[in-house]
Amino acid sequence: MRGRLVLQYAVSAAVIVGAIALWELGVKTGYLKAYQFPPASRIAEGFVEIATTGFPTGITIWSHVLTTVTRILQGYLAALALAIPVGLVIGAFPLVNKMLEPVIVFCRSIATLSLLPLVIVWFGAGELTKVILIAYGCFWVMLSNVIAAVVYVDPVLIRAGRSFGLKGVALYREVVLPAALPRMFAGARMALGVGFMVIVGAEMIGTIEGLGALIMEARTFYRSEITIIGMLVIGVLGFVISTGLAALERVLLPWGATGEGARA
């Protein structure tokens, strides 16, 4: 059993290494153009450059990451701080929920980046605009998940709570709220994903710092390997943060619901 698993990993690794080697070979022999398909060696060199002297010169990958993460967190946390209480209130009143649902679906459906020109007109091309765009994208995803989390609490749990004489605010606090937590958590994870999607677009305007800006700058100079590094770093960041959140969920909600069924 164990041997088979090792073999599996070995094969996966061999496939990846083989693909990279073929790629490298393709560029060396001239079948692939390096500016279109920068080989692994170029990417590695690029990473050393960007980690030490920086790209554009003076801005290392670490400060790009820091800038991007800071922007995402600002927008994301603002969105959660707003979406959670608003969603809890809307979810508590079925009638209000019914009335607001079309508005929420409408707002959630607008691609966040399509708002970019308008937000720039309102708030300029500075930091605020980027944070607002992230917050917008995260907000609607979080809001609809908080509402759904409250609305779709298992009715049996509510009846059980009521059978002990609970009603109104006490019922909401003691039964509905804890029962809604897993789905709210799933919504929070999804909203963070949206933040990462929005950030790259938001950073393509009016800044030279941040991973999105890095990718745009690299494009201008045909430094495709830097673009790929930007992509990889965003991927790794998303993966690390998502894993961190999953671990946090296991600590905070040890009773083990996985919060499946949240929606984007």
Partner 1 sequence: MTVGREGHSQVGSGAATRVEAEPSAGSAIRISNVTKSFGAPGHGPTVLRTIDLTVRENEFVSLVGRSGCGKTTLLNIIAGLERPTSGTVEIHGRAVRGPGQGQGVVFQQHALFPWMTALRNVVFGFRDASLSKSDKQERARELLQLVGLSAAADKYPREMSGGMQQRVAIARALALDPEILLMDEPFGALDELTRIELQQELLRIWEARKKTVVFVTHSINEALALSDRVILLAPHPGRIERDLAIDLPRPRLRTDPRFIALHEEIWKGLSS
**Footprint on this chain of partner 1 (rule: CB under 8 A):** 154, 156-157, 159-160, 162-167, 174-175, 178-179, 181, 253-257
d(CA 230, CA 209): 12
At its nearest, how many Å lie between partner 1 and the CB of residue 134? 31
For partner 1, give the closer residue by CB, 58 or 256: 256
d(CA 206, CA 138): 22
For partner 1, give the closer residue by CB, 78 or 253: 253
Whole-angstrom distance between the N-terminal and C-terminal Cα of the chain? 38
d(CA 197, CA 244): 18
At its nearest, how many Å lie between partner 1 and the CB of residue 182? 9
For partner 1, give the closer residue by CB, 98 or 167: 167
Query: Residue 185: which of 73, 261, 118, 122 has the closest Cα?
Result: 261
At its nearest, how many Å lie between partner 1 and the CB of residue 187? 17
DSSP code per residue over 148-210: HHHHTS-HHHHHHHHHTT--HHHHIIIIIHHHHHHHHHHHHHHHHHHHHHHHHHHTTSS-S-S
At its nearest, how many Å lie between partner 1 and the CB of residue 248? 16
For partner 1, give the closer residue by CB, 162 or 263: 162
For partner 1, give the closer residue by CB, 52 or 163: 163
At its nearest, how many Å lie between partner 1 and the CB of residue 162? 5
d(CA 111, CA 160): 41
